[in-house]
Chain A
Amino acid sequence: MPTPTQLNHPDISPEMVPEIDGIIGAHYRTDGAVIPVLRLCQDIVGYLPMELIDYISYGLNLPRSEVLGVATFYSLFSLIPKGRHTIKACLGTACYVKGIKEVMTRISNEFNVKEGETTSDRRFSLEAVRCLGACGLAPVVVVDQDTHGGVSASQVKSLLEKYD
């Protein structure tokens, strides 16, 4: 394997590289830095391509297996590209009792996307998440930063239309 000293990936633009270098540099000597570094890098690129994982492990001087192990353990990190909009359907108990299952099925059928996947036009990523703590509003769907409460399956289409 060549030493990953350069970041060549279609989803990582040249402007992102100094930012990523800055993050790695700032955490280089800190114990337990892998999780914050992965989080900050994911914030920049949108997800964690394998080339970036290699680059981070080289930068932090950690085995590739350890960094990849952490990246795959936590649900926050994604190794596949994300859509322009992320739909998070809450699968907490309250939402479940109030019918989030029907809402999820409707989203899947309407936009032809399965849980954990991204639509082919990269418009939506559909995620099932654990309790968002907004049980008073159940069932809850979060699109990007907007929380929508009391969602029913029949509202799905009109709700998602505005996210292009």
Chain B
Amino acid sequence: MKKTRLQLMLCGGSGCQATGSRKFQDALEKELKHTRLDQEIKVIETGCNGFCAVGPVMLVQPEGIFYQKLKPEDVPELVEEHFLKGRPVKRLQYVEPASKETIPNMHDIPFFAHQKFRVMRNKGIIDPEVIDEYIARDGYFGAAKALTQMSPEQIISEMKISGLRGRGGAGFPTGLKWEFAAKSPGNIKYVLCNADEGDPGAFMDRSILEADPHAVLEGMLIAARAINAGRGYIYCRTEYPLALHRLDVAIKQAREYGLLGKNILESGFDFDIEVYQGAGAFVCGEETALMRSIEGKRGMPRPRPPFPANKGLWEKPTVLNNVETLANIPQIILNGGEWYASIGTETSKGTKVFALTGAVNNIGLVEVPMGITLRQMIYDIGGGIPNKRKFKAVQLGGPSGGCIPAQCLDTPIDYEEIAKVGAIMGSGGVIVMDEKTCMVDMARFFLDFIQDESCGKCIPCREGTRRLLETIEQICQGNGKPEDIQTLETLSEVIKNSSLCGLGQTAPNPVLSTLRYFKDEYIAHIVEKKCPAKRCTALLDFKIDAEQCKKCGLCFKACPANAITWQKKEVAIIDNEKCIECMSCFEACRFNAIN
């Protein structure tokens, strides 16, 4: 590889591509060529940087200068000032919202400074479509060690020492899972990678696949060696075209380098990987359903036992690991299980990647050591709640998870501790909600998702979630009855106890956890027929509170139906005949003056 003066690490993740990184890249490359800097400055498209909220983003190496919200128009100034004259462009750098201070260096920005990068150590640093760059960062060294210096028993023992638990949600110890499959008799075995990331609000696996696909391939190769599997499949959602493309490129390159295929690294071991595209079914994230889907059937779960370690894909012993779990493995083998276990809590080791979204300033992907508190994650890394609103709850674990209220914010990130407060670690979706979120409406949202995605096999899940949804919809409509709360609780217990798979067993969690902490909101909806967060339109009056109104006219400007009359220095009035209840005025009003 040729040496260059500067490397411009431009994020090419899905988030940045959507905000225009491609157009910026074209303009940048053109300008560099035009100014003849293209020999000494190299533009590298990287995987997801994680700080999606301020995209497109670019890191200038080796200086470590971080630029955000880049537009093609910014190119001439950047090239002239920074790349030619060495004066970084301040207006394109990160500004700390609280202190209004400009922070030039990426590692000083609080969003990055509080993180600990293990799984995402290569994100934004290497070009994910060039295998040499991965190898230069010790890539495939773990696999080489596993294949040439370690026995399968030693690999499994190292995994057990590391304490790594499945990052897909359930948290089953990975080493133990491998041991079961390794001991299972049979010549044909499979290693599967679960990249069917379906939880709404979660995008960790997509980012890992986009930023560092080889880490996942290497993890699979080590797993294959441990259980003696000859073939692997990556089951990836079809909604992730960039991740699918990067996987294809990575697999081709690994084959060319002899890291997949026959007699890998002269060890006599054969292993190859194929990508299987999902077709859009949430339940296929469940292991037995995923295997059914690869077999070309409707993705419906089946009872366990037999467990996949004994009878999995095509009835053969199978190990299924999540993307993040697999991306951890190369470093565990290279640095040892004890190194890995050196951070974390008693029962939860290493780091966890979270997709931090919702009502939080710094939306993006974060990797934190196990054991830090939710408060640290939301406030120190996430930068707190925007628009001076109040924190209300944080939702962890997607549709199967639960809402955690303000009084539990000091809960450490740990599988058991999070379960104690009524949520689950889950795959890593973290949705922060402010006072404008209605918890009944939130439960309704997740139930709508679950009842739609229920595969229909078990009646408690198929029918029960619909009844739950109907009951909650009635409450949101203002037709709730006092006995509804009891009905919701009883029905939830039945669904939980009598469903076959994880989807059904956890389906009532959104209801149970909101009832646990926010019962007063349910009561307000049912008894007072009020929605305290002002989200449920049926319970709103669409009237302006004259005392609160600051006569600014923002609601008047926002109304698409011309239903609001307003003049300067006068309180606005909504004409309820014309009002289409679209909520535009609620969003526009900054003084909470509309009821």
Contacts and interface: CB of A to CB of B under 8 A. Distances in A.
Interface of A: 31-36, 38-39, 66, 69-70, 73-77, 91-94, 96-97, 99, 102, 105-106, 129-138, 140, 147-149, 152-154
A154 B298 CA distance: 40
B560 A93 contact: no
A122 to B, nearest CB: 22
Contact of B52 (A32, A129, A137, A152): A137
A159 to B, nearest CB: 14
Interface string B225-239: 000000000000011
Contacts of A38: 279
Contacts of B279: 35, 38-39, 74-77
B293 A35 contact: yes
A136 B298 contact: no
Contacts of B293: 35
Interface in B291-315: 293-299, 314
A34 B239 contact: no
B447 to A, nearest CB: 13
Contacts of A136: 15, 52-53, 55, 357, 363-364
A94 B201 contact: yes
Interface stretch (B79-87, B133-141, B566-574, B582-590): B582-590
Contact of B203 (A91, A99, A133, A154): A133
Interface string B245-288: 00000000000000000000000000000000111111000000
Contacts of A133: 14, 197, 202-203, 206, 239-240
A74 B455 CA distance: 10
B429 interface: yes
Contacts of A102: 582-584, 587
B173 interface: no
Given A93-B446, A102-B587, 16 more contacts: A33-B296, A74-B278, A74-B279, A74-B281, A75-B281, A91-B449, A93-B398, A93-B431, A133-B14, A134-B15, A134-B203, A137-B18, A137-B52, A147-B14, A147-B18, A153-B560
A130 B282 contact: yes
B41 to A, nearest CB: 28
B240 A39 contact: no
Contact of A73 (B200, B298, B359, B582): B298
Contacts of B359: 97
B582 A134 contact: no
A131 B186 CA distance: 39
A91 B282 CA distance: 14
B552 interface: no
14 contacts: A31-B295, A35-B279, A35-B293, A70-B296, A70-B298, A73-B299, A74-B279, A74-B299, A76-B279, A102-B587, A130-B198, A134-B203, A147-B18, A154-B558
Interface size class of B (residues with CB under 8 A): 35 or more
Nearest to A70: B298
B357 A34 contact: no
A91 B200 CA distance: 8
Given A33-B296, A35-B296, A153-B560, A137 B587 contact: no
B131 interface: no
Given A133-B197, A154-B560, A138 B357 contact: yes
Contacts of B515: none
Given A93-B429, A105-B582, A153-B560, A131 B15 contact: no
B386 to A, nearest CB: 11
Given A31-B314, A32-B296, A137-B18, A93 B357 contact: yes
Contacts of B296: 31-35, 70
Contacts of A130: 198, 200, 239, 280, 282, 449, 453
B355 interface: yes
Contacts of A66: 297
A77 B299 CA distance: 14
Contact of A134 (B52, B238, B314): B52
A69 B292 CA distance: 13
Nearest to A95: B200
B499 interface: no
A97 B431 contact: yes
B14 A134 contact: yes
B411 interface: no
B379 interface: no
The CB with the most chain B CB atoms within 10 A, among A76, A102, A132, A135, is that of A135
B164 to A, nearest CB: 24
